[in-house]
């Protein structure tokens, strides 16, 4: 089993739709969780951290479920500019060595 698993997609959604991605992780001792966004042929950029209590940043909501070992990302009112690959990231050792998922590709259609 991979340490971090994501559905590769692609998720094709119309503008204005709500879309959700899940990511599962295998190490129950994992301590830090993040969502990164990667545009085509660009470097990954931090989208948001994922806290145990859940957190929201505008149209984006991230949640952590430790019992089931998954994190989620919800995007409301999708924009064309949200089209990208979303990477789930887990710091499983607490030593700043991150494990990256292979990413979920989102395409928002006009």
Partner 1 sequence: SQTIHQWPATLVQPVGSPLSLECTVEGTSNPNLYWYRQAAGRGLQLLFYSVGIGQISSEVPQNLSASRPQDRQFILSSKKLLLSDSGFYLCACYHSGTSGNTDTQYFGPGTRLTVL
Binding residues for partner 1, per CB under 8 A? 32, 34, 41-46, 49, 87, 96-98, 100-103
* Choice between 21 and 78, CB closer to partner 1: 21
CB of 56 to partner 1, least distance (A): 15
Pick from 34, 37, 59, 32: nearest CA to 48: 34
Q: What is the DSSP string of the chain?
A: --SEEE----EEEETT--EEEEEEES-TT--EEEEEEE-TTS--EEEEE--TT-EEETTEEEEEETTTTEEEEEE-S--GGG-EEEEEEEESSSSS-EEE---EEEEEE-
CB of 59 to partner 1, least distance (A): 18
* Choice between 19 and 33, CB closer to partner 1: 33
CB of 75 to partner 1, least distance (A): 19
Enter the tokens of residue 23: 């990511």
* Choice between 1 and 41, CB closer to partner 1: 41
* Choice between 8 and 16, CB closer to partner 1: 8
CB of 34 to partner 1, least distance (A): 6
């Amino acid at each position: 089993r991979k340490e971090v698993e994501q559905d590769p997609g692609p998720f094709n959604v119309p503008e204005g739709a709500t879309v959700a991605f899940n990511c599962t992780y295998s190490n129950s001792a994992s301590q830090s969780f993040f969502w990164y966004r990667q545009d085509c042929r660009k470097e990954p950029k931090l989208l948001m951290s994922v806290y145990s209590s859940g957190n929201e940043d505008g149209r984006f909501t991230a949640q952590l479920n430790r019992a089931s070992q998954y994190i989620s990302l919800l995007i409301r009112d999708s924009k064309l500019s949200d089209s990208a690959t979303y990477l789930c990231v887990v710091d499983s050792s607490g030593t700043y060595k991150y494990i990256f998922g292979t990413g979920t590709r989102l395409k928002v259609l006009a």
